[in-house]
A and B are shown apart, each in its own frame.
Chain A
């Protein structure tokens, strides 16, 4: 890949990640931007990177970057949180308390030390999914599923912060580690729909395709 390098004493390849998912979280929607020395066919680039990356890290689409910067197009994320061995009714009650609150203060260790911040305001929607089957497929064990849309703010409010909030307001303690998946991120419409941030760079047709 003819990647471009930064100037200076120790040049670095120009790669920037927008709003990367936290460690230990699965994602179906991560975005990055790469500076290149010369134009290349986006589909060829997608294929080259996909070949070199690990199994399970799939490059779905590539577009030529234009217009607004990538971070400006990341306004919100949609997350799904699987909570094995949690009774869905218990989760519904906790979510109701959380949603009714104006502010839910939580704590997290950051690089700057322990910080306290509000985990409620950034949450645009929080719903218990009652219809979809358990993704893990184990029907003998109950599993509650939470769907969240969270606005991109600073400090960022992550799914584990919302879970901390549910513990604070309703004492929800998942017995086993939750499984978190980012389903989408991008610009947010007035209707609360998340739009793929690459859409604005596509000339009508999708280059990569899912």
Chain B
């Protein structure tokens, strides 16, 4: 007999019998509510990879949150890494919490159930630290829900020694000013070492008997010069509403707070024990970051600017992490993540090595390939050896050659068409092209060129393959200017302008009916982008707008079915005139060189003069090359942060795996 079937009997026991319930668990009160809400499984916890440690054995306790629903939050790499790093410490524990949907929020309020962790269902208010990771500013209203449900005072100023220290992290924390009223601290940059340092400071302070209370603890954190404590800084405004200055209000805190950079990613091979979700989530795969940072220099890209320099993980460490991650989790998909994965110095060997190792095993590999480059197709072919063909996405970002020079996305129309046609001739029937609308200096004509490009792609694809069975999808996102980028000074376009351009583009695509039929068109309205822009470049005065929106029911602003533009416009109109500013002032106003920006005292390493020069280069349509292959262009990060580019090639190869048959018992799957 080859294989065969096996039958199993399973028991899922009710809480009244065997499930272990810890002393401070809210589970007995939460469980009766769960049959009344959608997808209750997301609140149950107990995933493979989850850790429940003894409360009393830990000195420092973290509740970690990704402020979105479980299905989005669970796969988040940042939270998974910090969760594992912290739980490896013998005297610390970390548990996870996610945003609860409004149906459960209502029931929790009615029954007095506080915000809880999914691991041991402990109240978030019981922890020493409440760390929240923001990938986007649209999670701010969910932060307020979680703080409020946890029973923690909404305003940091009203909190006592009994409340957790609320710490913000993630990319949005590079300008935490809009949530300065609600968080006690913010950490800029890589979290691995930062959480260990913060844990050390909290541990010492607690062991000493908490001298000086909360104020002393926050002061000790601020003195590291890498933890920003908003309450220790005062913001003064000019009569016209602009910021005059941001200065410390006590002698012993630094004028500027610097980002953290984790060097040598091989020394931090996390996640080792990835979480395997119980409910369906947006990504179900083992994800390994193959490098961090990007110096391609796309001027709209905050991630590329604030994560410099490039630090590669070596091919051998990646191979080892994939092997152990798959063995532990049982996932059948591996994602090789980074900001531009095909740029890894050994990506070719990495892809062919992994494809070889997992040939015939139903493990599929995926590469978020965003560069428009024929090399990407070679890689994609390597990765689809197992027969599974993942989608191909290319991101020219701008429709015209001119706008691509403005944003520094160096790709010609000819390159793009050649690349896509190569994909079609290699068997792909469908490619996705990603663009942005609302970019600085953009005109209707720039956007309409997207239609020309899509038409030519289909025309050339049909000619090359002799088949009408090829398609492309044009996907358009709204441009949002972000802090610490050359576009931080740029004016946004009004949503009406964006929506009008999107409508013109749709007409242009369908102007040729034969070509138009082969082109899919997806876009986002201009309105959510404008609100994201308000929040991303906001200052402390925006906190009152966020609060008003939240009080009026604002939740899950990243979800179109929950987002209400009207609610934001009304809250801004109620709150901002009191400060002599308005929504337009924050969004469609271009800033000048000397204006003090709300995040100027937060140091991403980028030299503000260089950013301004790059902004001028953008307006002059002048391109900037990548410092990995051309001389340093003095963005300022390496000298300011005492870091350096870490790239290969190492010259090492992945060795074929010894085939493993039969059962593997993962040791310590549950603790």
Verify that A and B bind, or say they do not: yes
Cβ contact within 8 Å between B9 and A61: yes
Which of A39, A56, A179 has the most CB atoms of chain B within a 10 A radius of its CB?
A: A56
Cβ contact within 8 Å between A32 and B661: no
Cβ contact within 8 Å between B12 and A57: yes
Cβ contact within 8 Å between A24 and B10: no
| Bound CA–CA A60/B666 (angstroms) | 19
- Is B251 located at the chain interface by the 8 A CB criterion? no
| Bound CA–CA A27/B18 (angstroms) | 13
| Choice from B1, B2, B9, B278 contacting A30 with Cβ under 8 Å | B9
Could you mark each residue 1-24 of chain A with 1 if its beta carbon is under 8 Å from any beta carbon of chain B, else 0? 110110001110110000001011
Cβ contact within 8 Å between A55 and B19: yes
Given A40-B663, A54-B278, A177-B36, the answer on whether A28 and B11 have CB atoms closer than 8 Å is: yes
Q: Which of B40-48, B429-437, B568-576, B585-593 contacts the other chain? A: B40-48
Given A30-B10, A56-B13, A70-B7, the answer on whether A51 and B670 have CB atoms closer than 8 Å is: yes
Cβ contact within 8 Å between A38 and B12: no
Given A54-B47, A55-B20, the answer on whether A65 and B2 have CB atoms closer than 8 Å is: no
- Is A37 located at the chain interface by the 8 A CB criterion? yes
- Is B239 located at the chain interface by the 8 A CB criterion? no
- Is A46 located at the chain interface by the 8 A CB criterion? yes
| Bound CA–CA A58/B666 (angstroms) | 16
Interface residues of A in 31-56 (CB under 8 A from B): 31-42, 44-49, 51-56
Which residues does chain A contribute within 8 Å of B34, judged by CB atoms?
24
Cβ contact within 8 Å between B10 and A58: yes
Cβ contact within 8 Å between B10 and A59: yes
Given A37-B3, A42-B6, A59-B9, the answer on whether A1 and B46 have CB atoms closer than 8 Å is: no
- Is B665 located at the chain interface by the 8 A CB criterion? yes
Which residues does chain B contribute within 8 Å of A29, judged by CB atoms?
9, 11
- Is A162 located at the chain interface by the 8 A CB criterion? no
| Bound CA–CA A116/B48 (angstroms) | 40
| Bound CA–CA A197/B8 (angstroms) | 10
Given A30-B12, A45-B663, the answer on whether A52 and B330 have CB atoms closer than 8 Å is: yes
- Is A196 located at the chain interface by the 8 A CB criterion? yes
Cβ contact within 8 Å between B11 and A64: no
Cβ contact within 8 Å between B669 and A51: yes
Which residues does chain B contribute within 8 Å of A195, judged by CB atoms?
none
Interface residues of A in 71-103 (CB under 8 A from B): none
Cβ contact within 8 Å between B16 and A45: no
Report the nearest B residue to A54, measured CB to CB: B46
Contact surface of B with A, Cβ cutoff 8 Å: 1-14, 16, 18-20, 32, 34-36, 40-41, 44-48, 278, 330, 332, 362, 387-388, 661-666, 669-670
A-B contact pairs, 19 of them (CB 8 A): A2-B3, A2-B661, A2-B663, A10-B388, A11-B388, A24-B40, A26-B14, A34-B5, A35-B3, A36-B3, A38-B661, A39-B1, A45-B8, A54-B278, A55-B19, A59-B8, A62-B8, A197-B7, A198-B9
